[in-house]
Amino acid sequence: MEEQKLIGIGVRGLTVVKVKGLGRHANFFSRDWLSEEAKLEIVAHEDRVDAITRAIMEAAHTGDPGDGIVTVLPVSSFHRIRTRSEALPEDA
Q: What is the pLDDT of residues 60-70, one digit of tens each?
A: 899 987 788 89
Higher-confidence residue: 35 or 37? 37
Provide the domain limits for residue 20. 3-91
The whole-angstrom separation of Cα 56 and Cα 5 is 9
pLDDT at position 31 over 80: no
Give how many domains the chain has, as a whole number.
Answer: 1
Among 13-27, 32-46, 61-75, the range with the most confident prediction by mean pLDDT is: 61-75
Task: For the beta carbon of residue 56, count every other beta carbon within 10 angstroms.
Answer: 19
Structure confidence at residue 25 as a pLDDT band (50, 70, 90): low
CATH of the domain at 13: 3.30.70.120
DSSP state of 57: H
pLDDT at position 30 over 90: no
